[in-house]
Structures are given as C-alpha cells and as structure tokens.
C-alpha cells in the first residue's frame, strides 16, 4: 500500500471547543476538512511516540462516522501508526474509548480519536465532531488542543494511504497491511483490529460494582426499570449490561438501536429532549397520576457520557446526583470501599457536592466547564468522583464522564438501601425509592435549588453584548432587589497539578446567602452562540420540609428575575424565553 502526500491549505475555524471540534456535517464534508484536522493532530504529537503506536478510532454512530473512520485509519497508516482498534460498526461510547485506551492489553494504546458531537442532533444536515484523547484516556488538554489549532492554521499537506487499505468494520477481526513509508520507501506492518465495543468496558464495570446485588435489585418484582438510549451509542451497552448481564427484561430498554440521525431526535438526556422516558416515568405533561410508572428511569446522550436519573414522577438534578453518589459511595459501591480521595465539580455546578465533601472531610475542587479539567486531578490521585450540572457524572475509573456508570451507581445505591442480596431476593420490605433517598439527602445537607437557562442560536454580536454588559457590572453592583452581592468576577482557574491557567471561564455573581448566578457562552455549539445562565439558591435543612420540597421553578423565580435583569437578557437578545430550561 502506498502513501499519498496531498497538498492542502489552512481552513478557518478549526479550533476545538469545550469538547473537540464540532461543526455541521456539511462543513465536515467540505474538501480536506477532516483530513486537515487529523493531520494537524498527528503533527502535534511527538513523532517518536506516534511511530508504531496503537490508536483507538470510534464514535457514537452518527451520520458520517463510517467514512470518517475509514479516512482516519488510512491517515494513521500513512503517519506511521502501527495499529488501530475500531469498535464494531465504528461504534464505541466516549467512556468506553477512554476505558479501551487505559486498559486494553495493559494500556497499550497511545491515544484515540472519538467521532461525536455528543448531545447535538445527527444526520446529513446536523452535527458531526471529532476529538483526540491522550494516553490517560482523557480529552487532550488545552496545551495540546492549542497546538492542534495552530497546526490547522499552517498546514500545507497531509498523508494518506491509498484506497486499497480497506476494512469491513462491521465484522470483528484483524487485518494487516504492508504500508510503504512516505520518506524511506520501506514497508512496515499496519494492523486494523475491529473489536467488540462493549467487552473491555464491561470488564471494567465488573470490577467497580457488585453485579450480584444489582441483578437482585433488577429482578425484584416491585422494581421496574426503564432506560432510554435515545438511539445513540448507549443502546448496545444497555442491552448487554442491563438485559444480558443483570437480567432486566428487554422491554426496559427504550430506543436502544443506534441510528445515524438518532431517530430524528435531539440525543440530550434532559426533561425537554428525553420525552419518551419522561412520559414513561410519569413526568410528561399529559401523564396520568394514576398510571403505574417504573421505580427508576435513566437516559444517556448520543455518545453515552451524559446521564439523566429519574425516580417515579421524580427528577434528580445532575448537581444533586453527584452529591448523593458522593454521600453513599463508600457504602454502596465496592470500588469506593476505602473512601473517596476527593471530589470535583465544574464551576457552574451547584455546591451540593461541596457540602458532602465538607461533611466527609475531603477536598472539593472547582474547575472550569469541560471534563478535560478533571483529568489532572484524577491522574494526581486527588479526586475520585466528579460531576457537572450538564448531566455529566463520572469517576477516576476512566477520564471521561460516564453515563452508564452513573446509572449503575444509582442502581447500587438503591440496591444497598434495599438490602438487595441474591439470598433474600423476593423477601424484601417495601422499596426505598429514589425520591426518598433524595429527600433524606436534602434533610441532612440542605438543598441547592438549581436551574439552567439556555438561549441557543443567538446572533453572536447580541450574545457578546450580553457578556460585555455583564462584564461591565463586575465589582460595580452590590445589590439587586433584596439580593446582596458579595463578590462578582470572571472565573479563572489555576490547575493545582501543573499550574496552567485558564481564564475567562464565566461571569459569576455570588450573593451573601450563598446563592449564585453565572453566565457563560457555550463552547460546543456548531452555529451561532448559546448563552447559558445558571441560577442556584441554597436552603438549609432547618428551613423544614415545606421549603426544602418546594417546586424548584417557583422557589427560584425571584433569583431568575435578578439574573435576567443583570444581563438585560430579554432586551439584548430579543428572546422572551430560553430555548431550553434544565
Ligand atoms: C457543554 C456542557 C459541559 C460539558 C460539555 C461537553 O459545554 O456545559 O458541562 O462538559 O458540553 O459535554 P458548553 O461549552 O456547551 O457549555 V458532551 O456530553 O457534549 O461531550
Ligand atoms: Co456527550
């Protein structure tokens, strides 16, 4: 197989965002677009490490995944890579790629390309994305993504093996090719191995959780369970883990066939987009109060790194979810039996986790938005568990957030609280519910009421105006209505491990009662700007059940109005209402 040197020119706008490069499919289809980015990534890696290395290439199965896998495989061969592991059908969830990089054959892989635009819709007119993960299984740090971007602005040629390097990625197995080196002319071996997309990941989960206890819970006649794969990559994992391994009925897996367009849906597990699950769990607008609903429901996003957790007619906010997992981890999850080293959350995520950390006497780190910031803390042994308000939860078992891991964490808590052991299957008292577990948590730690407003596809100039309006108020305003502002700033983070600084990570207004209002622009969109407004208000346990159990939207209304006033959101964007409220 020969290698072609293809002349190319820099293409604007190839700067990776919060989680890789995400653009419309049509943009990725333009000439050399993918190739430029992939070559720029190879050029940003040390040549001696890349040469003969093993890489993982897979994605969430969205439109353009298969041809992109083929292109990257040919470019890997041309750039001296020795072996590529591809998940069957080009499919692998983001956390599974992380697990494969870290663990398969003792951590043989040097890195990997993940093809996903995560929770963004897919299809010929929708989004595609690519990101590079490093040897620790985590997203490339900013230092590397900046280098990749620099390379995209200077690129003049890329290398690709000729078309005869072809593999049927729907079939498991190994194919080896002899590829001629572009400079030396010598032939070297290049292997593509199509691997089972679930196996390595499942092996890891078995070490983390007590599958017997989980299975006993799922087999309880009074415990109905529903999982919504949203037609993303979570489907094959859910079927294998919940049905084959743990014995849940097949009917508990909804939308678990991956589709290139996610069935026309928006594969984002929240109350707006996961409507199938929301209806099933009795939380839909038209759900009847009398209908029988499952005790537990969960959904994952397109690449299966996000999760939503629901009880019967009950929504668990992601910020509460990570706090509750932290509070119960030691008792309920074998992997955490010796306790948590520390925890971390992204800045806009509510401080519910901080309260658990305080009670347990462990450190809680606050990092900018995006999973890449947790990697150093985990690699350095400072943090075992972390979460984001954006339906992301995970631990140091991999270096990505992990949707199915979070579902199993909740099932473990339920199993623990319900004394689920194989031996007393069918002999348990009434089920302790998700709602009870959450309310107990609030009674002990207090409740961080929380909401996020997203204004999607706002004209960039208008979005910038909102941000500059807010910036001008930093340090200038001390009170809005009866809310006293203690501090306002632009969040800047210094990584405690390597000292790197990430500035301009969101504008914060911190109030004297512990409430917070935060604004930032999204870094994952593919067109226009998305403004995110985060609102949090703390209610202490001694406020009593009535205040603690209040409706979140009602309880937060005054503070939401403060946030809208501060940002002049309506006036400046012309939007009466946000696109999505979570
Ligand atoms: C969003 C979320 C962030 C998350 C990121 C990637 O980023 O806010 O918390 O880490 O998506 O998630 P932004 O910049 O749009 O706010 V995923 O599941 O899309 O990889
Ligand atoms: Co995702």
Catalytic residue among 19, 40, 93, 118: 118
Q: Ligand 2 mean position to 40 CA, how many Å?
A: 24
- Distance from residue 94's CA to the centre of ligand 1 (Å): 13
Same domain, yes or no, for 463 and 432? no
Task: Say which ligand is closest to the CA of 347.
Answer: 1
153 and 186, same domain (yes or no): yes
* Residue 348 in tokens: 């806009």
Q: Among 392, 399, 406, which is best to mutate for testing ligand 1, by the most ligand atoms less than 8 A from CB?
A: 392
Closest CA to 527 of 454, 467, 459, 455: 459
Taking the CA of residue 192 as centre, how many other CA atoms within 13 Å lie in the half-sphere pointing to its CB?
28
344, β-bridge pairs: 365, 386
> Are 376 and 490 part of one and the same domain?
no
User: What residue spans of 87-164 are helical by DSSP H?
Assistant: 94-103, 142-152
pLDDT, average across residues 316-328: 97
Domain that holds residue 282: 200-445
* DSSP secondary structure letter of residue 141: P
Average pLDDT, whole number, for the chain? 93
Give yes or no for a contact between 86 and 167, defined as CB atoms under 8 angstroms apart. yes
Write the CB contacts of 125 (distance below 8 Å, at least 6 apart in sequence): 24, 25, 26
- Per-residue pLDDT reduced to its tens digit, 370-407: 998 999 999 999 999 999 999 999 999 999 999 999 99
Which ligand minimizes its atom distance to the CA of 346?
A: 1
- Is the separation of the CB atoms in 127 and 121 below 8 Å? yes
Q: Which atom of ligand 1 is nearest to the CA of 117?
A: 19
Which pair of tokens denotes residue 120? Answer: 């963004």
How far does residue 270's CA lie from ligand 1's centre (Å)? Answer: 13
Regarding an ipTM greater than 0.90, the answer is yes
Q: 391 CA to middle of ligand 1, Å?
A: 9
Query: Which segment of 154-158, 399-403, 431-435 scores lowest on mean pLDDT?
Result: 431-435
Do 362 and 232 lie in a common domain?
Answer: yes
Most ligand 1 atoms within 8 A of CB, residue of 455, 524, 530 to mutate: 524
Asked whether the predicted pLDDT for residue 422 surpasses 50, the reply is: no
Q: What is the pTM of this model?
A: 0.93
At residue 493, does pLDDT exceed 60? yes
Nearest Cα neighbor of 432 from 169, 173, 217, 201 is 217
Query: Residues 424, 488: one domain?
Result: no
pLDDT at 284 over 90: no
Q: Give the residue from 445, 462, 492 where a domain finishes.
A: 445
| H/E run at residue 375 | helix 372-379
Specify whether 363 is located in the same domain as 248. yes
Q: Give the count of alpha carbons within 13 A of 328, CB side only.
A: 25
Last residue of a domain, one of 417, 445, 473: 445
Measured from the alpha carbon of residue 16, the closest ligand is 1
Mean pLDDT confidence for 160-170: 95
Q: How confident is the model at residue 508 (pLDDT cuts 50, 70, 90)?
A: very high
Query: Tell me: the pLDDT tens digits for 56-85?
Result: 999 999 999 999 999 999 999 999 999 999
Q: In testing the pocket of ligand 1, which one of 126, 232, 319, 370 has its CB within 8 Å of the most ligand atoms?
A: 370
Question: What's the CATH number where 75 sits?
Answer: 3.40.120.10
Please tell me the distance from the alpha carbon of residue 329 to that of residue 334, in angstroms, as a whole number: 8
Ligand 1 atom closest to the CA of 116, numbered from 1: 20
What is the atom index within ligand 1 of the atom nearest the CA of 94? 20
Residue nearest to atom 3 of ligand 1 (CA): 370
Q: Report the number of distinct structural domains present in the chain.
A: 3
Closest C-alpha residue for ligand 1 atom 4: 370
Considering the domain architecture, whether residues 191 and 284 belong to the same structural domain is answered as no
Mean pLDDT of 507-534: 89
Q: Which protein residue has the closest C-alpha to ligand 1 atom 13?
A: 522
Nearest CA to ligand 1 atom 19: 118
Residue nearest to atom 16 of ligand 1 (CA): 522
Report how far ligand 2's centroid is from the alpha carbon of 93 (Å).
9
Q: What is the mean pLDDT of residues 240-258?
A: 96
Which residues fall within 8 angstroms of residue 442, CB to CB, at 6 or more apart?
541, 548, 549
Going by CA atoms, what residue is nearest to atom 8 of ligand 1? 390
118 is catalytic: yes
Q: Which residues pair with 351 in a beta bridge?
A: none
Domain at 573, CATH number? 3.30.310.50
- Residues with CB under 6 Å of ligand 1 are 18-19, 118-119, 301, 305-306, 346, 369-371, 388, 390, 392, 522-524, 532
Both 480 and 554 in one domain: the answer is: yes
Residue 427: which pLDDT band, with cuts at 50, 70 and 90? low
Q: Are 482 and 515 in contact (CB under 8 A)?
A: no
In this predicted structure, the answer to whether residue 420 has a pLDDT above a threshold of 60 is no
Report how far apart, in Å, the C-alpha atoms of 548 and of each of 401, 538, 556 are.
Answer: 29, 10, 12
Q: State whether 308 and 211 are in the same domain.
A: yes
CA 80–ligand 1 middle distance (angstroms)? 33
Domain boundary among 141, 168, 197: 197
- Asked if residue 166 and residue 234 are part of one domain, the reply reads no
Which tokens hold the place of 206? 């078995």
Q: Which ligand is nearest to the CA of 371?
A: 1
491 and 420, same domain (yes or no) = no
| Spacing, Cα 303 to ligand 1 middle (Å) | 12
Q: Please count the CA atoms within 13 angstroms of the CA of 553 that sit on its side-chain side.
A: 4
Nearest protein CA to atom 20 of ligand 1, as residue: 118
Point out the least confidently predicted range of 125-134, 162-171, 521-530, 551-560. 521-530
Q: Looking at the structure, tell me whether residues 429 and 473 fall in a common domain.
A: no
């Amino acid at each position: 197989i020969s290698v072609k040197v293809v002349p190319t020119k820099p293409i604007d706008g190839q700067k990776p965002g919060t989680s890789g490069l995400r653009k419309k499919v049509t943009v990725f289809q333009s000439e050399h677009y993918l190739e430029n980015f992939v070559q720029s990534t190879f050029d940003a890696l040390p040549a001696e490490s890349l040469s003969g290395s093993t890489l993982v290439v897979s994605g969430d199965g969205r439109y353009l995944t298969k041809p992109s896998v083929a292109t990257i495989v040919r470019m890997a061969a041309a750039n001296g890579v020795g072996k590529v592991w591809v998940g069957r059908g080009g499919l692998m969830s983001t956390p599974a790629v992380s697990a494969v990089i870290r663990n398969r054959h003792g951590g043989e892989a040097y890195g990997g390309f993940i093809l996903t635009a995560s929770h963004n819709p897919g299809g010929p007119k929708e989004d595609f994305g690519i990101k590079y993960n490093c040897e620790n299984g985590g997203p490339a740090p900013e230092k590397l993504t900046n280098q990749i971007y620099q390379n995209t602005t200077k690129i003049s040629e890329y290398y690709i093996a000729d078309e005869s390097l072809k593999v049927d990625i729907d079939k498991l197995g190994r194919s080896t090719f002899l590829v001629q080196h572009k400079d030396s002319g010598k032939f070297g071996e290049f292997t593509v191995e199509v691997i089972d997309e679930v196996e390595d990941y499942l092996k890891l989960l078995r070490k983390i959780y007590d599958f017997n206890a989980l299975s006993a819970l799922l087999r309880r006649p009074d415990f109905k369970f529903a999982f919504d794969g949203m037609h993303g990559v979570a489907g094959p994992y859910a079927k294998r883990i919940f049905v084959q391994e743990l014995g849940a009925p097949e009917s508990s897996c909804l939308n678990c066939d991956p589709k290139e367009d996610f069935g026309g849906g928006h594969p984002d597990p929240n109350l707006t987009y996961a409507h199938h699950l929301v209806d099933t769990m009795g939380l839909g607008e038209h759900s009847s109060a009398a209908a029988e609903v499952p005790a537990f429901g969960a959904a994952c996003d397109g690449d299966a790194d996000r999760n939503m957790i629901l009880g019967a007619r009950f929504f668990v906010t992601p910020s509460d979810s990570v706090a509750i997992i932290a509070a119960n981890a030691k008792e309920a999850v074998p992997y955490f039996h010796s306790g948590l080293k520390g925890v971390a959350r992204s800045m806009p995520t509510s401080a519910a986790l901080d309260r658990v950390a305080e009670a347990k006497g462990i450190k809680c780190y606050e990092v900018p938005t995006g999973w890449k910031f947790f990697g150093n803390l985990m690699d350095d042994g400072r943090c075992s568990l972390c979460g984001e308000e954006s339906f992301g939860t995970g631990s140091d078992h991999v270096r990505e957030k992990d949707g199915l891991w979070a579902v199993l964490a909740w099932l473990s808590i339920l199993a623990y609280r319900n004394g689920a052991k194989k031996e007393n299957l069918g002999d348990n008292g009434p089920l302790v519910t998700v709602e009870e577990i959450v309310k107990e948590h609030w009674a002990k730690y207090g409740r961080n009421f929380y909401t996020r407003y997203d204004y999607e596809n706002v004209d960039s100039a208008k979005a910038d105006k909102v941000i500059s309006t807010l910036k001008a108020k930093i340090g200038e305003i001390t009170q809005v209505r009866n809310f006293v502002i203690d501090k306002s700033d632009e969040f800047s983070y210094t990584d405690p491990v390597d000292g790197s600084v990430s500035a301009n990570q969101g504008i914060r207004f911190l109030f004297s009662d512990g409430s917070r209002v935060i604004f930032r622009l999204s870094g994952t969109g593919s067109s226009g700007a998305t403004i995110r407004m985060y609102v949090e208000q703390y209610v202490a346990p001694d406020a009593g059940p009535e205040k603690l159990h209040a409706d979140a939207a009602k309880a937060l209304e005054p503070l939401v109005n403060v946030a809208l006033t501060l940002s002049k959101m309506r006036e400046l964007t012309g939007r009466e209402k946000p696109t999505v409220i979570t």
